Structure 1
Amino acid sequence: MWRKPLAAATGRALRHPWRTTTFRQSTTASSAVNSLLLRSLKDHYLEVSRMSPPAKVSPPAPFTVVKGSLDGNGPVLKRSYGNDEEINVSVMRLANIVPGGGGEDDGDDSINQLFVHVDVSKPGQPEHVHFLCGLYPDALGIHSISMRPKAENSGFLVVPNQYAGPVFQDLDESMRDALHSYIEERGINESLFPFLQAWLYVKDHRNLMHWFKSVGTFIHENKAAKDS
């Protein structure tokens, strides 16, 4: 009773042999692409792993490095000021905000310009003062100031959902100078640049190695599943 269906199936296979052949060729090509990609990922991983790290730089006193900051997205540095203030500093590159760094004519600006988020908080207060600043090797400028709710144990910056205050450049010169003096008194100045730049290099290096490894692991597991 099985002869007719089996014969029909055999006949179809003979009339259309390209179906099986195409599948096998596709599988072989996919395996070759995966192998090529894995080899490239491994080569790049090894190349990045051999890169020399920058000379170790310590943050200016009395700032200390936040434990685990290289593995997270929260503050990098912290310090106490006076008897009731805690200051946290987060950092990112211009290239992480504007992909491409803003243009080909920027030169080293995308490397030598950092954005620092400075939070000044006091115990018992539901909000803190947040400064967004541009940091260079020889200067620091304030971009904006806002009041933000405290982010309890989140480790992430909280986006304000209320009025963020006037545009900093619209403030009169005396107030702008006073606000610059306010954060400079708390150690927020160009002396932070060497450490934060070196810290970002180490973090970028670690993230890049993790990316090559993660993609390689995924492709390898996918390849093993197809080969099995």
Structure 2
Amino acid sequence: MQAFRQLARTCVRVNPQTLTSATRSMVTLRAALPKVAPVYANKFEAFRNYSSPARQTLNSELNKEIAYEVENAEVMDGFQDALAATGFSVKDSAGNCNLRLEKLHDDEKITVLMKIELMDDDEPEEPEDGAEDEPRPSQGVYYTVVVTKNDKQGALCFDMVSYQGSASIETITYNPSADSALSLGVKPEGEFANHQTYCGPNLQDIEESLEGAFGEYLMERGINDNFALICEQVYREKEQKEYVHWLKQISEFTA
């Protein structure tokens, strides 16, 4: 303890004149140094405001594409009236590739699930002589019709495809969990996400009367060829909106 006290006394006894002289030396040294900070700041400011030709070109092309898409957006005559007549309402949000249509039917809720995917807009090739002109699956709009009931846990799911106003059933699935059925998203080319659930038999192998009964069940709930046209238009409008939204996001980021 005595040693610490002696050290403290020694520190206190340092000559104040020495400290004052050292301090004056530091002030003199700082005054002699060149003032370089403003030079670096000016260089940084110039770099920050620099706009490369590549970025300018990209922004210009993005803005041209946005203007073109907005001006040439396809709108089906009477579409909103036709949609309202079906009783379905569209639920979607910008930036989300999932889309759904909903309506009530007695004690049931009918939900149509879609997922926006890259579509093949190429014109179909002319069929060879004698060959039937069948649409390619990639040209259709795929969706899942989910029927749920207030007093029951499960859901009846119809995986469907619409092409030029004609709807067809791909698979019929019963999911014991309505929540699970509504959370599953559709995949392109008719491959849907409910891999662990039995997808039912090949519809071509069941009795025609049973297949027809399923069709009547859907038509009674408004799922018919007219609704197929609605689905195709809803899909294309959503796809176009998401494309424009994507362009605008990138344009704002690169501006």
Task: Give TM-score, length-normalised by structure 1.
Answer: 0.66
Which of 93, 103, 108 is the equivalent residue of 1:79? 103
Look up the equivalent residue of 2:230 and give its one-letter code. Answer: F
CA-CA distance at 1:61 after TM superposition:
3.2
Distance 1:60 1:175, change over 3 A: farther
SS of the equivalent of 1:200 reads: helix
Look up the equivalent residue of 1:88 and give its one-letter code. Answer: T
Matched, 1:89 2:112: yes
- Residue of structure 2 equivalent to 1:24: none
Distance 1:205 1:151, change over 3 A: same
1:130-145 to 2 correspondence within 5 Å? 130-145=157-172
- Residue of structure 2 equivalent to 1:16: none
Distance 1:69 1:211, change over 3 A: closer
- Residue of structure 2 equivalent to 1:203: 238
SS of the equivalent of 1:193 reads: helix
Look up the equivalent residue of 2:61 and give its one-letter code. Answer: S
Query: Structure 2 CA distance, aligned partners of 1:115 and 1:153?
Result: 16
- Residue of structure 2 equivalent to 1:63: 87
- Residue of structure 2 equivalent to 1:193: 228
How many residues align? The count is: 186
Look up the equivalent residue of 1:80 and give its one-letter code. Answer: L
Query: Structure 1 CA distance, aligned partners of 2:122 and 2:71?
Result: 30
Query: Structure 2 CA distance, aligned partners of 1:210 and 1:69?
Result: 11
Task: Give TM-score, length-normalised by structure 2.
Answer: 0.60
CA-CA distance at 1:74 after TM superposition:
3.7
- Residue of structure 2 equivalent to 1:21: none
- Aligned residues: CA RMSD: 3.4
Matched, 1:37 2:58: yes
Higher Rg: 2
SS of the equivalent of 2:219 reads: helix
Identity %: 22
1:98-113 to 2 correspondence within 5 Å? 100=120, 105=125, 109=135, 113=140
Distance 1:112 1:162, change over 3 A: closer
Query: Structure 2 CA distance, aligned partners of 1:65 and 1:108?
Result: 32
SS of the equivalent of 2:156 reads: strand
Q: Given that residues 74 and 155 in structure 1 are in contact (C-alpha distance below 8 angstroms), is that contact kept between their aligned partners in structure 2?
A: no
Structure 1 regions of 5+ residues with no counterpart?
A: 1-29, 221-228
Which of 157, 160, 163 is the equivalent residue of 2:185? 157
Deviates more, 1:208-217 or 1:132-141: 132-141
Query: Structure 2 CA distance, aligned partners of 1:56 and 1:49?
Result: 19
